[in-house]
């Protein structure tokens, strides 16, 4: 029998990007733009990616290393204020096991000609399948990838 447990954690990550809030919001809300940075490690294959960006809409992103396990992010959008705020809840699954449930809030604020992004995440990490410090590190890596995509996309636009 599986030992049941839950760890609760909240973390806040801030990033400054040279892109305007509208560009950062676009990278968070457009399926094609988000697919350029919201991905697993290079050696992972993506199995499924769907995005219905609206209040009540869902996003599903799954994939993983060859031979498994499959990692699945499944989100529900609760609040969207264009160029300012996105709030969603999401489950993470490892194959058929739910490993966490989280509430994430992205706040975008003008900072000079760029954007200050503040991400607050409140999570319940289930049955020792996931760990808050690992989630924070993975989220930091994703926000770094977001920053790199904003730079790359800006170079492509030039």
Structure tokens at 81: 């204020």
Q: Which pLDDT value is given to residue 128?
A: 85
Q: Which pLDDT value is given to residue 154?
A: 58
26 domain-assigned: yes
- Check which CATH number belongs to the domain holding 107 and give it: 3.30.530.20
The range of the structural domain enclosing residue 142 comes to: 6-157
Number of structural domains the chain divides into: 1
64 domain-assigned: yes
46 domain-assigned: yes
Q: Which pLDDT value is given to residue 157?
A: 47
Structure tokens at 145: 């990838």
Q: Which phi-psi region, left, alpha or beta, contains residue 18 (left: φ > 0; alpha: ψ -120 to 50)?
A: alpha
| Per-residue pLDDT of the chain in tens (158 residues, 90 and over written 9) | 568 999 999 999 999 999 999 999 999 999 999 999 998 888 888 889 999 999 999 999 999 998 889 999 999 999 999 999 999 999 999 999 999 999 999 999 999 999 999 999 999 999 988 889 999 999 999 999 999 999 986 545 43
Nearest-angstrom CA–CA distance, 149 and 26: 12
Q: To which residue do tokens 């399926």 refer?
A: 31
CA distances from 33 to 10, 17, 52, 100, 142 (A): 27, 16, 14, 26, 13
């Amino acid at each position: 029998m599986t030992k049941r447990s839950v760890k609760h954690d909240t973390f806040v990550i801030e990033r400054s990007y040279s892109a305007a809030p509208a560009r950062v919001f676009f990278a968070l809300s457009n399926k094609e733009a988000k697919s350029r940075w919201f991905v697993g490690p290079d050696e992972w294959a993506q199995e499924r990616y769907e995005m219905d960006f609206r209040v009540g809409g869902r996003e599903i992103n799954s994939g993983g290393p060859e031979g498994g396990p499959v990692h699945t992010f499944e989100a529900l959008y609760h609040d969207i204020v264009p160029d300012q705020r996105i709030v969603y809840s999401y489950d993470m699954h490892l194959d058929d096991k739910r490993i966490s449930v989280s509430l994430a809030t992205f706040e975008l604020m003008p900072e000079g000609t760029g954007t200050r992004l503040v991400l607050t995440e409140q999570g319940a990490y289930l049955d020792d399948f996931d760990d808050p410090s690992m989630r924070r590190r993975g989220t930091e890596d994703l926000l770094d990838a977001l920053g790199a995509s904003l730079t790359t996309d800006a170079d492509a636009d030039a």
